[in-house]
Structure 1
Amino acid sequence: MGDGLFGNPITNSTLEGMPDYEDNKNIDRKDRARVALNMRSSEEKSVRAVQYLQTMKDQCDGELGGTLCLLYNATGDPIRYVTHYDWGNGHPGPTPYPMEIANGQWAAFLHVPLSTNKPYATGAIVYRGKDPRGVDCDWMVSWDNPTDKINNTPKAYSEVREKNHFFNSDFWRIIYNKMQSSGICYDGDKDVDNSYGCSLSVSIGSNRFPILVAVFTLQGV
């Protein structure tokens, strides 16, 4: 397991060892997603992910602050890093973005401002996964974490769109504007434009090092 990943992958073999599935010969993506969602706090994996971020935070400039990002994969399949986007003023913290997150795993990383001259840490990350039919689609999480919390509040936003959607640079301006009106929580189930059957919800705290939590899953699990 690489740095920043927490929890054992939840696969067909995992479900086959559970009483509810031991006689099920047709375990599918939604089954794996459902079990992963129900087990998001098992093995103390979420606790260990937060502890990891707290350790990474100590390596950052406390005056600048940063965003402690937690992504949970409950889509039924692995999701793989595609790209990221920064609105000119942020970068990953002490560790890189996780390249692959297995079903049932938490991924943890920091995103921090460049300097006191550019105090906003506003960024996004995109992973590729599958919808309930097995069609590839791209899952995007974005966040805006201003250093000045008196005059500005953190914000978070997410989308799931067709494969390669986020390589069109024109969309990032639109995403930024949507994020500015989304607030500290965004319910992915309410996005009628999301790829078929996909749900990606995100929330962010409001302190100097707020925790951002995004849950990648399927509708109806």
Structure 2
Amino acid sequence: MAGNVFGDPITDEDVKIIYPNKEIITRRDRAEVAFLNINAKGRDANAKTFVHNLKERYGNGISALCMIFNATGDTLTYSGKHDWHGHIYESPYPAKIQNGQWGAFLHVHPSWFAGSESAVVYRGFNGDDYLCDWMLSWGIPYIGDNHAYTEIREGHHYETDHWDNIQSLLESQCTHYEDTWNGCYSMVTIGEGTSPEFVGIMTLEGITGRNKININSFLTSNASASAKRA
């Protein structure tokens, strides 16, 4: 397991524990059980601890404490990023995030007077074996309010330059955004201040609605922790 992914992967065996009589297990079943376990066995807490330790080593300055969760039913693979301002610090973007795992990383501002503004893309499948890209983005300006934006498109979509348009969409948003596309769902949220937590959830359409309490409890604690400034 990579050093910046957290939690045991959710597999068919985990689905059988909850649904012992289920004969055919689908990607959607694995996604559902992954989301049920979003906070289980300290996986979310371990991701938080990791990224806060990165921040402590980095020190003062604008930074995004990023934590992203995979509940798509299969492994998501890193497929690219785009930095408008800033860069990743010390620990890379996770190359793979298995179903039911959190990935964590710190994105920091450049040395000159600018904030942290970036996007990352992960590739996987919807419930019908269609290749999709989940794009998660955040912005912490040097002056002004923080913002978050996400969208999902067909696989390899972001290999074409859409970044000027995405930047405009990102900067027009507030601190929470959701997207649904082709059976997939993503949600992003960012806290206030100059070093907030940024949380992204990548899953399938309809999965989160079945267990809102898990995500709401995580986002509540996220908003509280993000209140401090660098």
The answer, yes or no, to whether TM exceeds 0.5 is yes
What is the aligned-residue identity percentage? Answer: 36
Contact in 2 for aligned 1:82/1:127 (Cα 8 Å) = yes
Measure the CA separation in 1 of the matches of 2:206 and 2:47: 26
Give matches, 1:107-118, under 5 Å: 107-115=103-111, 117-118=112-113
Aligned residue for 1:144?
139
Measure the CA separation in 1 of the matches of 2:167 and 2:199: 18
Aligned residue for 1:158?
150
After the TM superposition, which parts of structure 1 deviate over 2 Å for at least 4 consecutive aligned residues? none
1:81 aligns with 2:78: yes
Q: CA deviation at 1:208?
A: 2.1
Aligned residue for 1:181?
172
Contact in 2 for aligned 1:59/1:94 (Cα 8 Å) = no
Aligned residue for 1:11?
11
Q: TM-score of the superposition, structure 1-length normalised?
A: 0.91
Measure the CA separation in 2 of the matches of 1:154 and 1:68: 13
What one-letter code is carried by the residue in structure 2 that aligns with 1:107?
G
Contact in 2 for aligned 1:187/1:200 (Cα 8 Å) = yes
Give the alignment's Cα RMSD to 1 decimal. 1.0
Measure the CA separation in 2 of the matches of 1:95 and 1:8: 20
Q: TM-score of the superposition, structure 2-length normalised?
A: 0.87
Q: CA deviation at 1:94?
A: 1.6
Give the gaps of 5 or more residues in structure 2.
208-230
Measure the CA separation in 1 of the matches of 2:120 and 2:194: 21
Aligned residue for 1:35?
33
Q: CA deviation at 1:110?
A: 0.4
Measure the CA separation in 1 of the matches of 2:101 and 2:86: 25
Aligned residue for 2:224?
none
Aligned residue for 1:132?
127
Q: 1:48 aligns with which of 36, 43, 46?
A: 46
Q: CA deviation at 1:119?
A: 2.1
Q: CA deviation at 1:118?
A: 3.9
Q: CA deviation at 1:65?
A: 2.2
Q: 1:203 aligns with which of 174, 189, 196?
A: 189
Give the gaps of 5 or more residues in structure 1.
none
| Residue-by-residue CA offset, 1:8-42 (whole Å, 9 max, x unaligned) | 000112212x1x31121111011110111111000
Contact in 1 for aligned 2:113/2:142 (Cα 8 Å) = no
Q: CA deviation at 1:78?
A: 0.4
| 3-state SS of 2:54 partner | helix
Q: CA deviation at 1:187?
A: 1.7
Contact in 1 for aligned 2:65/2:107 (Cα 8 Å) = yes
What one-letter code is carried by the residue in structure 1 that aligns with 2:147?
K
Q: 1:104 aligns with which of 100, 103, 107?
A: 100
Q: CA deviation at 1:74?
A: 0.3
Measure the CA separation in 2 of the matches of 1:105 and 1:147: 32
What one-letter code is carried by the residue in structure 1 that aligns with 2:38?
R
Q: CA deviation at 1:188?
A: 1.8
Measure the CA separation in 1 of the matches of 2:167 and 2:101: 28
Q: 2:55 aligns with which of 57, 60, 73?
A: 57
